[in-house]
Amino acid sequence: MLDPLALTTFDRPALITLLWSLIYGALGILLTIAGYKIFDWITPIDVEKELGEKQNIAVAIVTAAVIIGVALVVAAAIG
């Protein structure tokens, strides 16, 4: 049977691991957003306009591929 006290106490190394996981997760999200913004900045077309107003599917697919690629690079760099 489980000890009820074990469920209420915190393990210090587990708490530190959780904290670092949250920090790296937030850092990964911020770097992925920054990568998308850089992609949007260097492309000759207005990505926001193409996606929002014209609903260009091709631009949406390329943008999704760029976001996934940036996320993979960020994950490899952080890991």
pLDDT digits (tens, 9 = 90+) for 10-68: 677 888 888 999 999 999 999 999 999 999 899 898 888 898 999 999 999 999 999 99
Distance CA 32, CA 75 (A): 9
Q: What is the pTM (predicted TM-score) of this model? A: 0.73
Q: What is the pLDDT of residue 11?
A: 75
Q: What is the pLDDT of residue 66?
A: 93
Give the CA distances from residue 59 to residues 36, 47, 52, in Å, rounded to whole numbers and listed in that order: 13, 7, 11
Query: Phi, psi at residue 46, to the nearest 5°?
Result: -85, 100
Residue 1 has pLDDT above 60, yes or no: no
3-state helix, strand, coil in the chain (%, to 5): 80, 0, 20
More confident residue, 12 or 5: 12
Could you give the maximum distance between any two Cα atoms of the chain, in Å?
64
